[in-house]
Amino acid sequence: MRFLHLTGPIALYGLRTVELARTPSVNARGSLVFGRYEAPGRILLFEQQNPPWRLPGILNQADTNRFKRFGATVAIPPGSQVTIVEWPKESLKRFMLEGVLVHELGHHVLQQYKGKRLARVARTRDHEAVAELFASRQRLLVTAVGKLAK
Amino acid sequence: MNQGLTLIGDGIENPANALVMKAAAAMFGAECRFRDTKGLNQASSTQGGEPFMTIEADQIPALHGRAVAFDNLPGAAELYGYQVGPDFSVMVGNERRGLSYECAKLATDKVQVPMLSRRVNCLNVAAASAVALYYLGGMRVGSMAVRGEPNNRRPEVLLLGAGDHVELGSAIRSTAAFGWGRVFIEDRQQIWFGCERAVRAEGRAAARRGKNEILSIPCATGATHGFDRVTIITTQALGAPLHRVNLSSGPSQLIVIPDEKSVDQSAETWSRLGKEVEFAHLQIPAMEFPYHYRITTTIALAEISRQVGRRPTAKVPRAGRPPFYDHRLARLAEAAGQSVSLEELVDY
């Protein structure tokens, strides 16, 4: 709740619920799902397994960098095709709040202020881009004022 | 006699209807029995008629493997294209009240003939029986056509030379029930226009004239018409079977249904009706049967109605699902598996 208020009223207006939920049925590729925005104004944060995560295959560079940015250590044992992601201390919580929740808030902001709250107001790709842009700005802002510093 | 087919009249009141139902059953080689709950046999004996074969409700399931309730019951399937198999009974209900609950609950199948009129929503029971036997008794046709503007395909109908006012009245009722707004009548016997009061009243009653708004247009005997295409429908083996003929060419086509009891078809000058004249015939299994004008007319109109079709049922647009966006790892397993060199494989 405290974290939500740090993002300011723009992101919170029209927001109905933020829910902690069980992971939905995963698709055939078994990719991890962290969160979901459902118009209008519903954010779901999904449960995550205890670290370390053993992910089949090699994680791509963008996701590796993203995890590392929030304090994760990503390792690929030599000769294996497995990626091990370790989340020390509270880095996973930080990832879920600053990485996932703020991203979902970005979806909400776009959907809310278009005025067509139940309609698809942008292509999924554009929606994701706007949400990620909003999240990155919010992270910079919050970091700059030091409000998230422990 | 087709042992696998029985027509059952449930609570029929009018002996005249019962007689025509017997004739309809005879056309298709079926047995005809009545569940006499409304004093049918008593009325028949009063009028000097023979008693009808009766049946009780609890005997119906033992007759055949399937029992078809032919009535506009909730959830009833459309008659056209309905396959019920070779061994079944068809149950039709009382003239006013329809099928009784006792019979309806015995039914394994519920079937109805689609009615297109808003005012006349049912057929004469004997005519309906004939339609049911025609389509369920082995006639392989498709379902009713669905068109944007079916009335553009609806041909004109000429009822020619009917000899009985009740038969003609029932035929006019069927014409209205199948969606026609007007019908041409060549009234050679003067049973419809300019007839005496009693005949007129009986004919109008059979046509349900109180709520039947169809426009009946008199045609002079032997009058010349200018239709592009004329199709004459008969029970004699002339031309193509009815369902193989295109009966949905629109108002430029005239469908002629002559009363074969009173019209000598070989002596008619059909070319007076239009440019191109063709014949179509009803496929009736029996070689000899008591002819009733309402039966042939109603079967013919049912087939035309099937081909003309109806508008698509309006679909209520589903409310779109609100959008949702998942935050997930895009490519988790980029290179699942293990690389093995050829040497390792050979050594293995």
pLDDT, position A28: 40
Q: Is-above-0.95 flag for pTM?
A: no
Q: Which residues contact B260 (CB under 8 A, 6 or more apart)?
A: B234, B235, B236, B291, B293, B296
pLDDT, position A146: 64
Same domain, B118 and B180: no
Residue ending a domain, choose from B69, B104, B136 = B136
pLDDT, position B157: 93
Same domain, B66 and B161: no
Same domain, B67 and B154: no
CA distance B129 to B21: 7
Convert the pLDDT of each residue in A61-118 to its tens digit.
888 888 998 999 999 888 776 788 999 988 999 899 888 999 999 999 998 887 777 7
Sheet strands (E) in chain B: 5-10, 31-35, 66-70, 77-78, 88-92, 109-112, 156-160, 182-186, 215-218, 227-234, 240-241, 253-258, 274-281, 324-328
Q: For residue A73, what are the β-bridge partners?
A: A86
Residue ending a domain, choose from B110, B136, B162 = B136
When divided into structural domains, chain B yields a total of 2
Answer whether A103 sits within 8 Å of B327, measured CB to CB: yes
Domain edges within chain A: 2-49+89-145, 52-86
Same domain, B158 and B299: yes
Domain residue limits at B110: 5-136
pLDDT, position B2: 62
Is residue B182 over pLDDT 60?
Answer: yes
pLDDT, position B334: 53
Q: Which pairing describes strands B31-35 and B5-10: parallel, antiparallel, or unpaired?
A: parallel
- The angle, 0 to 180 degrees and rounded to 10, between the axes of the packed helices B125-136 and B293-308 is 60
Cβ contacts (< 8 Å) between B332 and chain A: which residues?
29-32, 55-57, 59
pLDDT, position B54: 92
Q: List the single best residue of B321, B325, B331, B340 to mutate versus A (max A Cβ within 10 A).
A: B325
CA distance B131 to B123: 10
Please report whether residue B277 resides in a domain. Answer: yes
* pLDDT, average across residues B283-287: 87
AA identity, residue B5: L
Please report whether residue B274 resides in a domain. Answer: yes
CA distance B47 to B114: 35
* Count of residues in chain B: 348
Task: List all residues of chain B from 327 to 346 with a beta carbon under 8 Å from chain A.
Answer: 327-338
Cβ contacts (< 8 Å) between A30 and chain B: which residues?
332-333
Q: Read off the pLDDT band of B138 (50, 70, 90).
A: confident
Same domain, B85 and B156: no
Same domain, B42 and B189: no
Same domain, B100 and B131: yes
pLDDT, position B336: 47
pLDDT, position A40: 86
Please report whether residue B271 resides in a domain. Answer: yes
Q: Which residues contact B308 (CB under 8 A, 6 or more apart)?
A: B145, B147, B150, B151, B153, B154, B155, B179, B247, B248
pLDDT, position B135: 93
Same domain, B33 and B160: no
Same domain, B156 and B89: no
Answer whether B324 sits within 8 Å of A124, measured CB to CB: no
Answer whether B327 sits within 8 Å of A38, measured CB to CB: no
Asked whether the beta carbons of A95 and A72 are under 8 A apart, the reply is: yes
Enumerate chain A positions whose Cβ falls within 8 A of a Cβ in B.
29-40, 55-60, 62-63, 80-81, 100, 103-104, 107, 111, 118-120, 124, 127-128, 131
Same domain, B93 and B196: no
Cβ contacts (< 8 Å) between B329 and chain A: which residues?
31-32, 55, 59, 63
The helix, strand and coil proportions of chain A, stated in percent and rounded to the nearest 5, come to 40, 20, 40
Please report whether residue B141 resides in a domain. Answer: no
Same domain, B129 and B218: no
Query: How many CB pairs (< 8 A) connect A and B?
Result: 77
Same domain, B22 and B82: yes
CA distance B56 to B65: 17
Please report whether residue B60 resides in a domain. Answer: yes
Percentage with pLDDT > 70 across chain B: 94
CA distance B114 to B80: 9
Convert the pLDDT of each residue in B303-315 to its tens digit.
999 999 998 877 6
pLDDT, position B13: 92
Q: Read off the pLDDT band of A29 (50, 70, 90).
A: very low
pLDDT, position B26: 92
Percentage with pLDDT > 70 across chain A: 87
Percentage with pLDDT > 90 across chain B: 55
* Closest CB to B327 among A35, A57, A58: A35
Q: What is the CATH number of the domain that holds B208?
A: 3.40.1280.10
CA distance B144 to B336: 55
